[in-house]
Amino acid sequence: MKKLLLAFQFLTVIPVRTGPPVNDKEIAGSSAFFVVVGFLQGLLIAAAAFLSRTVFPPELTIAIALLVLVFSNGGFHMDGLADTFDALAAKSSGDIRADREKRLSIMKGGTTGPIGVIAIMFALALKYLALTNISNLSYFTYYSSLTLMPVLPKWTMVISMYHARAAREDGLGNIFINGTGAKEAAISTMLLLGLLALPELFLGSLLSAYQPLFYAALMVTLYGLCRLWVIFFDKRFGGLTGDTVGAISEFSEVIFLFMVILWSRLFI
């Protein structure tokens, strides 16, 4: 229970108490429950969309859903996305070690540059446009997409941290990246599979026969992309940081929505 509360404390703005002081092992172990936090966050987003749709037009409803998504975690991942793109935009000097230090320094700075702002704008625009398209599909596809939109990215965060090394020797990101092992990755994967199985248990007769195949394709695709993102960030920064993990979460949300649209055109 403490690790689950720690996951809520780390990923959301919900005020929770974790009891006595915690150690680094417990902090890193909370990553196993990231998908549970994502699921409850997704339910909140879907509920906000459902309630607002009774009053507002679909386009405004989607904007409200995205607002809930961003503010429920305090814009934590968006900030990581912006810092990551600001660092990647730094001009190279030709010295790999010096470039890495320069990028890490930019990422650690407290300001957001123009490239970071553009990254946030494009991320929100892509999500908005994707959800606008998905809202024209079935109610199940729309609301399940809203619910799962924060779930899969939480899993990709864990998978990425498991396969990566930390670019820094200090900080909270270092604790998670170096402390997330096979146990946390396995628990996270099992929890994700359990959450994906819920629609089959309660709405099986209403679902497409291809639904389990879609989830399998989704997980395989995101897993492969995680490995590629880890390799890319290792070359640019010497490993992952908390900011790049947040960026991976944002990438995954967009990829998830794009895959829903692609799959719906092929099989729905």
> Which secondary structure element, helix H or strand E, spans residue 51, and what is its range?
helix 34-53
Instruction: Give CA–CA dist 19/26, Å, rounded.
Output: 12
Q: Where are the alpha helices (DSSP H) in 112-181?
A: 114-134, 139-148, 151-163, 172-179
Instruction: Give CA–CA dist 247/83, Å, rounded.
Output: 9
User: Quick check: 17 pLDDT over 80?
Assistant: no
Which SS3 state, helix, strand or coil, does residue 170 take?
coil
Instruction: Give CA–CA dist 199/5, Å, rounded.
Output: 26
User: To which residue do tokens 């880890």 refer?
Assistant: 230
pTM score = 0.92
Q: What pLDDT does residue 268 have? A: 59
Residue-wise pLDDT for 25-57, tens only, equals 888 889 999 999 999 999 999 999 999 988 999
| Mean pLDDT taken over the chain | 89
Strand partners, 240: 166
More confident of the two residues 25 and 260: 260
Q: Among 56-60, 116-120, 208-212, which stretch is predicted with the lowest mean pLDDT? A: 208-212
Instruction: Give CA–CA dist 71/28, Å, rounded.
Output: 24
Q: How confident is the model at residue 265 (pLDDT cuts 50, 70, 90)?
A: confident
More confident of the two residues 123 and 95: 123
User: Quick check: 145 pLDDT over 70?
Assistant: yes
User: Quick check: 188 pLDDT over 80?
Assistant: yes
User: Quick check: 203 pLDDT over 90?
Assistant: no
Give the mean pLDDT of 66-74.
92
User: Quick check: 197 pLDDT over 90?
Assistant: no
Give the mean pLDDT of 93-102.
82
User: Quick check: 19 pLDDT over 70?
Assistant: no
Give the mean pLDDT of 114-139.
94
37 vs 14, 30, 214, 224, CA distance in Å? 11, 10, 23, 23
